[in-house]
Chain A
Amino acid sequence: MISVKNVRKAFGEKKVLNGLDLEIPKGETLVIMGRSGCGKSVLLKIIAGLLSIDEGEVWVDGSEITNLKRQPLNKIRRKIGMLFQSAALFDSMSVAENIAFMLDQHTDLSQQDMRKVVDEKLNLVDLDGVQDLRPAQLSGGMRKRVGLARALAFNPEIILYDEPTTGLDPVTCTEINQLIRDLNQKLQVTSVVVTHDMHSAFSVGTLMVMLHEGKRLAFGTPDEIINEDNPILQQFILFGAPDQILNIDDPTLRKYTGRDTQ
């Protein structure tokens, strides 16, 4: 569904992605992990066509998007929904107008039909009665839900999540993780989640990739990632993941936590 081949991207002197290769099969939820500044969000923006690359190829649903002009790129973007880190809701519009924005811009649907879609998408993210509120009147968790409802408005085949749980309390984080899992099951979409919240990563991911110095350090299922014998990866997981999602008796983990000395 999404293919990233030998992608290089630098900002001035700083090399962010340094020959990255990645395959994301249809229907999977790939979690991209890595330290701050390792290029996770940059990769997400490259997949969304928001950033150009210096070298390599990016394929989305069978189309190479690297050198596409705006119009053909917009056609592909209609298959993509994106939840931004700050939700990126339009301040000057109501919740309903935010969710209906894409329908208003790209379809001839009547106001009544758009209202139906808005209600349906809000129902999907477990929100109701907020249609006429402004984004400033919503809590952080509600903003993320509305952002997700907006991302779903055009029935995307791919959903990109940029740090979906950042800045939320633990209860709301768990609710958002549950929501992402439910949506992926219900809608059978391909998802890419950027996060350094390990709880969220192991909660939603069916595949995981760890980026380090612009390259792929590890790639696999959550089980494979946990058992990967790589000190950088294991330290990253262990410093961020709560014990209950890890098998503390696992010998690889014991080696890096120092628990095997007890």
Chain B
Amino acid sequence: MSPPSSTPAPSNGLAFLIKKRIYHSLSELGDAFRLLAETIFQIFRPPLQFDLLMKQLLLIGVNSLAVVLLSGFFTGMVLGVQGYVQLKPYAVEGSVAQFVSVSVVKELGPMITAFVLSGRIGASITAELSTMKVTEQIDALEVMGTNPVKYLVVPRFLACSFMLPTLTIFSTFAGIFGGYVAVVTLFGFNGDFYILQVQKHLFVGSVLISLIKATSFGMAIAAVGCYKGISISTAGGAEGVGTATTGSAVISLITILILDFVLNHILLNILGMK
């Protein structure tokens, strides 16, 4: 007769770990949505501190403009080269402007801007808020009767939601211009024809899709950045700040990709926007 074993079978242990992980993830998701709901509630609760909002708008918008323009410009150039090379064998290289503008406006403009800002701003929001948490600055705000969500999260959330579509407009123009520079200088494409094609294929609906996506991405970046920053344990220390910051960047990127798919499906497939 074999002796009774006190340790669980490996499969049971694995099942337990998976269950625990799922429970933890769902619990975190619940907390994140609670923070989002509280943030939206606090936005409509006066007073709105405009000085804090302006500071964040400058930090997120002005300081990110150069990198967003550069990213947009080179994305447009790559699209121009790729488009021209791929379309030429079928003798439809004249559609390269349409290819560049539609891709940049509907997809790559908001996407590239969101990627740049999730690395630059989302991670910075998490690092700042989590440092405030571990150094008890957020507790200090609470003790002094100031709501940390209203004081810290609302200005960042609003600034990201507003600046992402704004920067996307700049990024989109830079992308279309990048495509123009690439095809005109490298392949001798007719510049006037390029501009004409862009005007012909740029619809209000496309711009609307771009702005809806950008605003949603901005909200997602701020929500993830703030949640990961504010939810860190006070005892986390420097290591906790590092882990939270890395986690924030990764989760932001994944959230943007998932959101992009969902929005594409809703806007293009269900609502039939062009």
A residues in contact (CB < 8 Å) with B: 45, 48-50, 70, 74-75, 77-78, 80, 82, 84-86, 88-91, 101-102, 105-106, 154
Q: Identify which of B136, B143, B146 contacts A80 (C-beta below 8 A).
A: B143
Q: Indicate if the CB atoms of A90 and B137 lie closer than 8 Å.
A: yes
With a CB–CB cut-off of 8 A, which chain B residues contact A45?
139
With a CB–CB cut-off of 8 A, which chain B residues contact A91?
131, 135, 137
B216 to chain A, nearest CB (A): 29
Within 8 A of A (CB), among B101-153: 131, 135-137, 139-140, 142-147
B157 to chain A, nearest CB (A): 18
CA A197 to CA B136, docked complex, whole Å: 21
Q: Indicate if the CB atoms of B144 and A77 lie closer than 8 Å.
A: yes
B residues in contact (CB < 8 Å) with A: 131, 135-137, 139-140, 142-147
CA A50 to CA B144, docked complex, whole Å: 11
Q: Indicate if the CB atoms of A84 and B136 lie closer than 8 Å.
A: yes
Q: Indicate if the CB atoms of A88 and B140 lie closer than 8 Å.
A: yes
With a CB–CB cut-off of 8 A, which chain B residues contact A82?
140, 143
B195 to chain A, nearest CB (A): 46
Q: Indicate if the CB atoms of A88 and B139 lie closer than 8 Å.
A: yes
Q: Indicate if the CB atoms of B136 and A70 lie closer than 8 Å.
A: no
With a CB–CB cut-off of 8 A, which chain B residues contact A89?
137
Q: Indicate if the CB atoms of A105 and B145 lie closer than 8 Å.
A: yes
B262 to chain A, nearest CB (A): 34
With a CB–CB cut-off of 8 A, which chain A residues contact B145?
74-75, 77-78, 102, 105-106
With a CB–CB cut-off of 8 A, which chain B residues contact A48?
139, 142-143
Q: Indicate if the CB atoms of B144 and A86 lie closer than 8 Å.
A: no
With a CB–CB cut-off of 8 A, which chain B residues contact A49?
142-143
CA A48 to CA B136, docked complex, whole Å: 13
Given contacts A88-B136, A88-B137, A90-B137, contact A50 B143 (CB under 8 A): yes
Q: Identify which of A50, A85, A105 contacts B146 (C-beta below 8 A).
A: A105
CA A89 to CA B144, docked complex, whole Å: 12
Who on chain A is nearest to B49 by CB? A105
A41 to chain B, nearest CB (A): 10
With a CB–CB cut-off of 8 A, which chain B residues contact A50?
139, 142-143
B210 to chain A, nearest CB (A): 34
Q: Indicate if the CB atoms of B140 and A70 lie closer than 8 Å.
A: no
Q: Indicate if the CB atoms of A105 and B140 lie closer than 8 Å.
A: no
Q: Indicate if the CB atoms of B139 and A102 lie closer than 8 Å.
A: no
Q: Identify which of B131, B136, B142 contacts A85 (C-beta below 8 A).
A: B136
Q: Indicate if the CB atoms of B137 and A70 lie closer than 8 Å.
A: no
CA A50 to CA B135, docked complex, whole Å: 15
Q: Identify which of A74, A75, A84 contacts B139 (C-beta below 8 A).
A: A84
CA A70 to CA B141, docked complex, whole Å: 13
